[in-house]
Structure 1
Amino acid sequence: MKAATVSQLKKELQHRNADELLQLCLRLARFKLENKELLTYLLFEADDETGYIKTVKAQVDEQFEAINASNYYYVKKSIRKILRGLRKYIRYSGKKETEVELLLHFCQKLNNFHPSIHKNRTLSNLYERQLAAIEKKIDALHEDLQYDYGLPLEELKKHTHV
């Protein structure tokens, strides 16, 4: 079965009544965890973006605390998993400011992580790629926000070798 395009789905959804739409949403939520998470964000957290950011940051902090630091192999796997989850939460929001703020927090946690990620080429490259991506995202923001987010980014760039 080939999936319909977004415009086809939109046209079809316009012809449905409110009860049918409710049933479709509930069925989507049961089908996949990501759909349920997105629906949760849209219904409960989209109105309070700062609260959402705080929640995601707290979750990232917990995940960093739980990393098995005995071996760089486990550290790499855990950090990639954290970044995958973070990107998913960024996609739910869809706001550039949220993306920059969450990625900055991730990089700060990564930079302060012990054992140092700068002693491992793969982790160091991942960190550098994230900084470059943040810089591109900041350039697309409003001037005031560029300045506000540019300061912590410059700090991260200065202190890459702790």
Structure 2
Amino acid sequence: MTTAVYGLQDIKKELQHLSGQQITELCLRLARHKKENKELLAYLIFEADNSPAFIEKVKAEAGFMFSQMPVRSYEAAKYLRKILRLLGKYIKFMASKEAETELLINFCTGYIQYADRRTSYKPLRTILVRQVEKTRTAIGKLHEDLQYDFITDYNAMLNDAGKNLSWFDKDSYLL
């Protein structure tokens, strides 16, 4: 026996017919099943109305994680992927291109500050390169007025990377 899969529009129509109490019960039931559902619900209820403060909180958490990063390249790469998973989750919660761009620039800056500058471990280097490319793409999707503000921060981050990382070719990524 297979269960029917309903589309988002079907669910939306049904939700409009439910009472506030029934919707509350459904939300709590969803929150019990997956940790990410609970985190998303908590974000939407408690944090969504103040995005700048939430972004600062996420930056602080990422900064703390960077300060705890292991020295050995293999462990450092795993740890950086862990930070990226956390940032990805929060970016998905916020659903904002500006927030995504700001957090990606912050990640790249943290990488430049804390990662081993002399490493030849390719996976560790690839992490930065991919995030720089992702940041460049995210900036391109922003409104022109916002692009100017982020391009300044982005180019400053690239200059910092060019100075501190001998293997990084900043000219390939300039905007």
| TM-score of the alignment, normalized to the shorter chain, above 0.5 | yes
Give the corresponding residue for 1:149. Answer: 150
Q: Residue by residue, what CA displacement relative to the aligned partner does 1:4-55 show, whole Å, maximum 9, x if unpaired?
A: 2211211221121111000001111111110111111111111101100011
Match of 2:62 among 55, 60, 63: 60
Q: Following superposition of structure 1 onto structure 2, how do residues 131-146 of structure 1 map, counting pairs within 5 Å?
A: 131-146=132-147
Query: Match for 1:55: what amino acid?
Result: K
Q: Residue by residue, what CA displacement relative to the aligned partner does 1:52-73 show, whole Å, maximum 9, x if unpaired?
A: 001100110111122221x111
Q: Per the alignment, in what secondary structure is the counterpart of residue 116 of structure 1?
A: coil
User: Which is worse superposed, 2-11 or 133-142?
Assistant: 2-11
Query: Match for 1:87: what amino acid?
Result: G
Structure 2 spans left out of the alignment, 5+ residues: 165-175
Tell me, yes or no, if structure 1 residue 86 matches structure 2 residue 83.
no
Structure 1 spans left out of the alignment, 5+ residues: none
Query: Match for 1:156: what amino acid?
Result: M
Q: Per the alignment, in what secondary structure is the counterpart of residue 119 of structure 1?
A: coil
Q: CA RMSD in A?
A: 1.5
Q: Distance in 2 between matches of 1:67 and 1:2?
A: 46
Give the corresponding residue for 1:126. Answer: 127
CA contact (8 A) 2:73 2:119 kept: no
Q: Distance in 1 between matches of 2:115 and 2:98?
A: 28
Query: Match for 1:98: what amino acid?
Result: A
Q: CA deviation at 1:118?
A: 5.6
Q: Distance in 2 between matches of 1:121 and 1:109?
A: 18
Identity of aligned residues (%): 39
Q: Following superposition of structure 1 onto structure 2, how do residues 4-153 of structure 1 map, counting pairs within 5 Å?
A: 4-69=6-71, 71-116=72-117, 119-153=120-154
Q: TM-score, normalised by structure 1?
A: 0.92
Query: Match for 1:16: what amino acid?
Result: L
Q: Distance in 2 between matches of 1:25 and 1:111?
A: 41
Q: Which runs of at least 4 in structure 1 moved beyond 4 Å after TM superposition? A: none
Q: Per the alignment, in what secondary structure is the counterpart of residue 146 of structure 1?
A: helix
Q: Residue by residue, what CA displacement relative to the aligned partner does 1:70-128 show, whole Å, maximum 9, x if unpaired?
A: x1111011000110110000000001100000111000000111422763321212211
CA contact (8 A) 1:110 1:117 kept: no
Q: Per the alignment, in what secondary structure is the counterpart of residue 29 of structure 2?
A: helix
How many residues are matched? 161
Q: Distance in 1 between matches of 2:8 and 2:118?
A: 41
